[in-house]
A and B are shown apart, each in its own frame.
Chain A
Amino acid sequence: MLKLEDVQVYWGEVHALKGVSLEIEQGELVSLLGSNGAGKSTTLMTISGIVKPRAGRVIFDGQDLTQRSAFDIVNLGVIHCPEGRRIFSGLTVYENLLMGAVRRTDRRQVARDLERVIALFPILGERLRQNGATLSGGEQQMLAIARALMADPRLLMLDEPSLGLAPVIVEVIFEVIQQLHREGVTILLVEQNARQALQIADRCYVLETGRVVMSGPAEELRANPEVQRFYLGG
């Protein structure tokens, strides 16, 4: 479904991605691991079109996305839930969700998706009329994911959903992600929390200083002693 071919990305003069290649099949849950500054967020931003690569290609469903605008890419169903939640704090929960569905035209389906999303995150249903800024960190993360879901993603990209959240909330979030995976949503998950990510992913890529240094099925990587040493703390 999604393929990155030798993507080279620069932030000004800094060489952030030094030839990243990866693949995701429909229905897979692929996780992108790596330490801080490895280039994980940059990879997502390149896919969603916010950042343009200097070389290499991004191919989605056979279409070359490399030079397309972010607007076009989103409309193809590539939905990026950014790092740091970034919900619209001046808007209510309901308005946030509505904004997720901005690209869609089928109002009945949108209404159904709204119900579905509230079923997944009941707490959002209670807070529909509340201003987004008043939500707790965990609630905001749920809202961010819910908002992304409202966009009817063909590929859902989550950037560090567990960042800064209490372990209890992280459990809930990861359960939801698994649930979505079971329902058939294709997910690219960027995470620093390697343990959790490796538990739920089908396959993983490990990124270090802009390069893919390891890849493979999750069980393999879990058993890999290097992964255990660097990312699993033991």
Chain B
Amino acid sequence: MTSLEFFLQQAINAVSIGSLYALMAIGLAMVFGILRLINFAHGDIIMVGSYTTLMLMLVGLPFGVAAIIGVLASMVAGLIMERVAYRPIRGAPDVAMLLTSFAVTIFLENSAILLFQPTSRPFSAPSILTGALQFGNLRVSSIDLIAIGVTIILLLLLTFFVTRTQIGISMRAASTDLLAARLMGINVNTVIAYAFAIGSLMAGIVGVLWSARVGKIDPLMGFYPVLKAFVATVIGGLGSIPGAILGGYVLGTLEILLQGLLPASLTPFRDAFVFIALIILLLFRPNGILGPTEREKI
């Protein structure tokens, strides 16, 4: 394999993984922007969607239908989560909200363990998703291409939504200045519901793609994705949707880079290096890449 081919291979990996991180991160960023809440339970949305899809497939539904319902189930789960756990604590100190999201995570994960057993279950997606295309020496798995393609479409739709629809612009307004938004008559409940709905929908899609990629699901599958998504939003600048997208791709690229550049003895340390890189970044840009450069956003 020539070095160009190797580079392309890695580039596709990076963009594919980065796309998944970006989609996850958008949900986190939207909710944080308006509510100042870091929703750790966002990862479990992936889990809810994946298990729904799996169960429906086991009952006999074809993958396509099961996946669509699974994604919708994710969206509904997000909306229920907002209504039941987060709306009652609106206005609470940031810490309380963070902890509540931890509590929701524990609730969901343990419920899943009780319902579905803690061991992982195989998730078989149809071959169009799990197959690969060969271009000379280059082997590109279809799931990577699909992930990238789906992400591009979703990002375009999202951009249209936040720049051309009233609700979308209201969301951006609410995330800039919630008080002023309220004073203009923006219905905060509606805007927040949309933020959760869109974010959860995207997480649901990530769930299907991720499960197809990995081939199995388990109740704790949301833990690492949400951690990565959180890191991605911080890299890009918390609360900013472009930041989340940028952060997702930077993180994906960073992971693949480290994977490739680290000597074999150090590859287990990859996650540690990612965090070291993050800390170094925060030293120079305390509010993320796209965040304000002054320490305090006044």
Residues of A within 8 A of B (CB): 48, 50, 70-71, 74-75, 79-82, 86-91, 95-96, 98-100, 102-103, 147-148, 151
Contacts and interface: CB of A to CB of B under 8 A. Distances in A.
B169 A74 contact: no
B185 A86 contact: no
A48 B169 contact: no
A50 B179 contact: yes
Nearest to A103: B185
B184 interface: yes
9 contacts: A70-B182, A75-B185, A79-B184, A82-B183, A86-B177, A88-B172, A89-B177, A91-B172, A99-B169
A80 B183 contact: yes
Given A71-B187, A102-B184, A88 B173 contact: yes
B185 A71 contact: yes
B176 interface: yes
Given A99-B169, A99-B170, A102-B170, A91 B176 contact: yes
Contacts of B180: 82, 86-88
A102 B186 contact: yes
A92 to B, nearest CB: 9
Interface size class of B (residues with CB under 8 A): 10 to 19
A216 to B, nearest CB: 30
A147 B184 contact: yes
Contacts of B175: 90
Interface in B159-176: 166, 169-170, 172-173, 175-176
A90 B185 contact: no
A95 B179 contact: no
B181 interface: yes
Given A99-B169, A102-B170, A151 B176 contact: no
Contacts of B166: 98, 102
Contact of A98 (B169, B177, B183): B169
Contacts of B106: none
Contacts of B188: 71
Given A71-B188, A86-B177, A91 B169 contact: yes
A99 B173 CA distance: 8
A82 B184 CA distance: 10
Contact of A86 (B172, B179, B186, B187): B179
Interface of B: 166, 169-170, 172-173, 175-177, 179-188
Contacts of B173: 88, 90-91, 95-96, 99
A230 to B, nearest CB: 31
A99 B181 contact: yes
Contacts of B184: 74, 79, 99-100, 102-103, 147-148, 151
B179 A151 contact: no
- Most chain B CB neighbours (cut-off 10 Å) among A71, A86, A90, A98: A90
Contacts of A103: 184-185
A50 B177 CA distance: 14
B9 to A, nearest CB: 38
B257 to A, nearest CB: 31
- Most chain A CB neighbours (cut-off 10 Å) among B170, B172, B176, B186: B176
A184 B23 CA distance: 50
Nearest to A147: B184
B179 to A, nearest CB: 7
A212 to B, nearest CB: 24
A61 B26 CA distance: 44
- Most chain A CB neighbours (cut-off 10 Å) among B169, B181, B185, B187: B185
Contacts of B172: 88, 90-91, 95
A74 B176 contact: no
A40 B60 CA distance: 66
What are the 3 A-B residue pairs with the smallest beta carbon separation, nearest first? A103-B185, A74-B185, A86-B180
A103 B175 CA distance: 18
Nearest to A94: B169
A32 B219 CA distance: 59
A82 B176 contact: no
B185 A102 contact: yes
A90 B187 contact: no
A103 B188 CA distance: 12
A91 B183 CA distance: 16
B98 to A, nearest CB: 23
B291 to A, nearest CB: 12
B182 A50 contact: yes
A102 to B, nearest CB: 5
- Most chain A CB neighbours (cut-off 10 Å) among B169, B180, B184: B184
Contacts of A80: 183
Contacts of A82: 179-180, 183
Contacts of A148: 184
